[in-house]
Structure 1
Amino acid sequence: MTDKSLQKLRQQIVDETDGGKFSKLIEKLLKKYSSTDREYVLNILTDYARSGQILHWRNFLLTDIIELVNEDEANYADFFEWCITQPELTYWGIDGLLKTSGKKSFPALIEIIKNQSFNTSIRAKAIKSISLFSKQPFDRELPKDPGYWKEADLRIEEIEIWQKNGFQDGGGYPEPKTHISLENPKTELEKIASKLNKKLEAQRAKNRDLSNPTNWLVIADETDILNIEKKWKLPENYLLFLKNYSPLNVFIDNKKYFQGLHLYGASDLINRQEGYSFNPVTNESIADWPKNFVVIADAGADPYCIDINEITENDAPIYTSIHGSGEWEFELYADNFLTFLKEIAKK
Structure 2
Amino acid sequence: MFMTDKNLQKLRLQIIDETDGGKFSKLIEKLLKKYASTDREYVLEILTDYAKNGQILHWRNFLLNDIIELVNEGEANYVEFFEWCVTQPELTYWGIDGLLKTNGRKSFSALIEILKNESLKTSIRAKAIKSISVFSKQPFDRELPKDPGHWKVEDLRIEEIETWQKNGFQDGEGYTQPKTHISLENPKTELEKIASKLNKKLEAQRTKNQDLSNPANLLTIADETDILNIEKRWKLPENYLTFLKNYSPLKVFINSRKYFQGLHLYGASDLIKRQEGYSFNPVTNKTIDEWPENFVVIADAGADPYCIDINQIKENDAPIYTSIHGNGEWKFELYADSFLTFLKEIAGR
Query: TM-score category by the smaller chain?
Result: 0.7 to 0.9
Indicate the residue corresponding to 2:157 in structure 1.
Answer: 153
CA contact (8 A) 2:164 2:170 kept: no
Greater Rg by CA? 2
Indicate the residue corresponding to 2:187 in structure 1.
Answer: 185
Q: 1:190 to 1:302 in 2, by over 3 A?
A: same
1:234-279 deviations in whole A, cap 9, x for unaligned?
Answer: 1111110001111112222333322222111111101101101111
Relative to the length of structure 2, the TM-score reads 0.75
Q: CA deviation at 1:64?
A: 7.0
1:194 aligns with 2:199: no
Q: 1:88 to 1:36 in 2, by over 3 A?
A: closer
Q: Secondary structure at the match of 2:228?
A: helix
Indicate which of 78, 83, 86 corresponds to 1:84: 86
Indicate the residue corresponding to 1:19 in structure 2.
Answer: none
Q: Secondary structure at the match of 1:295?
A: strand
Identity between Structure 1 and Structure 2 (%)? 70
1:313 aligns with 2:318: no
Q: Give the count of matched residue pairs.
A: 330
CA contact (8 A) 2:271 2:298 kept: yes
Q: CA deviation at 1:115?
A: 3.5
Q: 1:175 to 1:281 in 2, by over 3 A?
A: same
Q: Which piece of structure 1 moves more, 77-86 or 113-122?
A: 77-86
1:139 aligns with 2:141: yes
Indicate which of 291, 294, 314 corresponds to 2:293: 291
Q: For 2:27 and 2:273, locate their aligned partners in 1 and report how far apart those are by CA, in whole Å.
A: 46
CA contact (8 A) 2:65 2:94 kept: no
Q: CA deviation at 1:203?
A: 2.9
The aligned runs of 1:129-278 (5 Å cut-off) are 129-140=131-142, 146=148, 147-150=151-154, 153-154=157-158, 155-161=160-166, 165=168, 167-278=169-280
Q: For 2:315 and 2:216, locate their aligned partners in 1 and report how far apart those are by CA, in whole Å.
A: 32
Instruction: In structure 2, give the amino acid aligned to 1:194.
Output: S
Instruction: In structure 1, give the amino acid aligned to 2:225.
Output: T
Runs of at least 5 residues in structure 1 that lack an aligned partner in the other structure = 17-21
Q: For 1:195 and 1:324, locate their aligned partners in 2 and report how far apart those are by CA, in whole Å.
A: 33
Q: 1:86 to 1:264 in 2, by over 3 A?
A: same
Relative to the length of structure 1, the TM-score reads 0.75
Runs of at least 5 residues in structure 2 that lack an aligned partner in the other structure = 38-42
CA contact (8 A) 2:129 2:156 kept: no
Q: Which piece of structure 1 moves more, 107-116 or 318-327?
A: 107-116
CA contact (8 A) 1:142 1:149 kept: no
CA contact (8 A) 1:143 1:149 kept: no
